[in-house]
Amino acid sequence: MKLPPSLLLTASLVVNVALLGIVVSQRNNSSHTSSSGANSSVTLTAKTSGTGSDVWKKLNPDAEPTDLMKRLRAAGFPEKIVNAIIAAQIHEHYAARRAALQTDTNAPYWSKSWNWGMGTDSKNRAALRELWRDEKQELRSTLGDAYADNPDAQRMIQRQFGNISKDKVNTAQSIVEDYQDMASDIYQSANGMMLPEDREKIAFIESEKLKDLAGILSPEELENYELRSSQTANQMRWQLSAFAPSEQEFRSIFDLQHAFDLQYPNIRSSDEAANQQRAAAQTALQDQIKASLGEARYAEYQRAQDGNFQQLANLTDRLELPKETAVAVYDFSKDIQKRAQQIRSDKNLQGDAKNQALAALADEANTKVVASLGQRGFDAYKQNGGWWLQNIAPHVAKK
């Protein structure tokens, strides 16, 4: 778990402890006209006059978080600062235990372990995840509403679940984290080589997670979670970036694709009959998407699945060119490749005549792409999806 930036603010607060003396002193100045209930602030100021370090020691920072919280409040600290200090103290409490479990932090930078911050030992990974859960639980129980109402926490919850009632947040997050832990172990054990049984396990974990979430979330809340956090939704956001769907189009495609993904988690199976069944279902899925989008938008949807068009769309976006530029270059590339194939299959063209026709077509292609993308864009496109430009020119036999 990554602490929100507002909580990490404490790091600078603790280092620069002179701030404590300033706040206490301000509280003292204003407390002369207050009731006797504010006298604790005056007493604390009197006892802690001196350096910021002395102030911090008098507050007894090693006390239990709830006791330290009371002392900080009595000293007149703003509630946000109190919460930030308490969060940092709790985080520090777990730091040593966490460091002891991160056995691979000194792994050589050229080894695979370097990329795995939690280490390669499965027991250590499980213990680290348990430690993060314990820390988060202590933060929640100690800070109470201040933890859930933190703007950064709210943004994270909104991003993950959409609109969800506060009383369901902790339970829903715990369910998701538990199943993520199980999936994480499978992915890391697979080491980049997912077998059919691994995919089946992941599909089962996803199915069970949804069942558990359905037990506490309303149908609308569960749908909002899936639209934001499911594997299907995450994949669709990448696949449809060049399609730029509306919210309604995204939801419509998601409903169809998610149902398919749950029923057919494996891309290939050793069972040929199962493969044929999946292929038939894939065709039916495309027919359903076409019916949902309509003829024109479905054509754009299909084009957006082409890796060449995706590269073009990314490039034109990077170069801040009109979106229509990607469409124009893509359509032109299809036309050029078709004409090149016609030249190569023309039996009336032989030898130099065929090579000259292909060379002229390659010159036409380069000129038009440069006109659309500019020289900088042309050079980048040749290295990122524009492979067809090299394939137009005649193939010269090696001597």
User: Does one domain contain both 50 and 136?
Assistant: yes
Phi, psi for residue 119 in degrees, rounded to 5: 95, 170
Residue-wise pLDDT tens digits, 204-229:
898 899 999 999 999 999 999 999 99
User: Does one domain contain both 146 and 204?
Assistant: yes
User: Does one domain contain both 185 and 39?
Assistant: yes
Q: Is residue 30 part of a domain?
A: yes
Return the residue matching tokens 């398919």: 260
Give the helix/strand (H/E) hosting 240. Answer: none
Q: 272 lies in which domain range?
A: 233-305
Q: Is residue 9 part of a domain?
A: yes
Q: How far apart are CA 285 and CA 171, in angstroms?
A: 34
Answer positive or negative: Cα dihedral of 226, 228, 230, 231. Answer: positive
User: Does one domain contain both 95 and 12?
Assistant: yes
pLDDT at 156: 83
pLDDT at 20: 40
Establish how many alpha carbons lie within 13 A of residue 76's alpha carbon, considering only the half-sphere containing its beta carbon: 23
Secondary structure of residue 359 in the 3-state scheme: helix
* One-letter amino acid of 179: Y
Please, are residues 21 and 55 in contact by the beta-carbon 8 Å criterion? yes
From 272, 296, 273, 269, select the one nearest 203 (Cα to Cα).
269
pLDDT at 113: 62
User: Does one domain contain both 259 and 347?
Assistant: no
Please, are residues 143 and 90 in contact by the beta-carbon 8 Å criterion? no
Phi, psi for residue 163 in degrees, rounded to 5: -80, 115
Cβ neighbours, 10 Å, residue 269: 16
Q: Is residue 398 part of a domain?
A: no
pLDDT at 9: 41
Q: Is residue 75 part of a domain?
A: yes
The CA-atom distances, in angstroms, between 364 and each of 327, 368, 371 are 18, 6, 11
User: Does one domain contain both 204 and 148?
Assistant: yes
Q: Which of 208, 232, 256 is the last residue of a domain?
A: 232
Return the residue matching tokens 């900088």: 376
User: Does one domain contain both 252 and 216?
Assistant: no
Q: How far apart are CA 17 and CA 15, in angstroms?
A: 6
pLDDT at 264: 85
Give the helix/strand (H/E) hosting 192. Answer: none
Instruction: Count how many domains the chain has.
Output: 3
Residue-wise pLDDT tens digits, 258-298:
999 988 876 666 778 888 999 999 999 999 999 999 999 99
Three state DSSP letters for 77-141: CCHHHHHHHHHHHHHHHHHHHHHHHCCCCCCCCCCHHHHCCCCCCHHHHHHHHHHHHHHHHHHHH
From 199, 208, 258, select the one nearest 233 (Cα to Cα).
258
Q: Is residue 397 part of a domain?
A: no
Return the residue matching tokens 């730029």: 244
pLDDT at 22: 38
Q: Which of 200, 232, 264 is the last residue of a domain?
A: 232
Q: Is residue 107 part of a domain?
A: yes
pLDDT at 109: 59
Q: Which of 209, 232, 255 is the last residue of a domain?
A: 232
Q: Is residue 262 part of a domain?
A: yes
pTM of the model: 0.67
User: Does one domain contain both 278 and 327?
Assistant: no
The distance from CA 157 to its chain's CA centroid, rounded to whole angstroms, is 14
Q: 126-131: which pairs have CB atoms within 8 A and are 24 or more residues apart? A: 126/181, 126/185, 127/101, 128/98, 128/101, 128/102, 129/177, 129/181, 129/184, 131/94, 131/97, 131/98, 131/101
User: Does one domain contain both 225 and 240?
Assistant: no
In sequence order, which ranges of 215-246 are alpha helices (DSSP H)? Answer: 219-229, 231-239
Q: Which residues of the chain have pLDDT under 50?
A: 1-49, 399
The pair of structure tokens assigned to 399 is: 């001597």
User: Does one domain contain both 36 and 130?
Assistant: yes
User: Does one domain contain both 42 and 77?
Assistant: yes
pLDDT at 372: 96
User: Does one domain contain both 258 and 372?
Assistant: no
Q: Is residue 179 part of a domain?
A: yes
Q: How far apart are CA 286 and CA 288, in angstroms?
A: 5
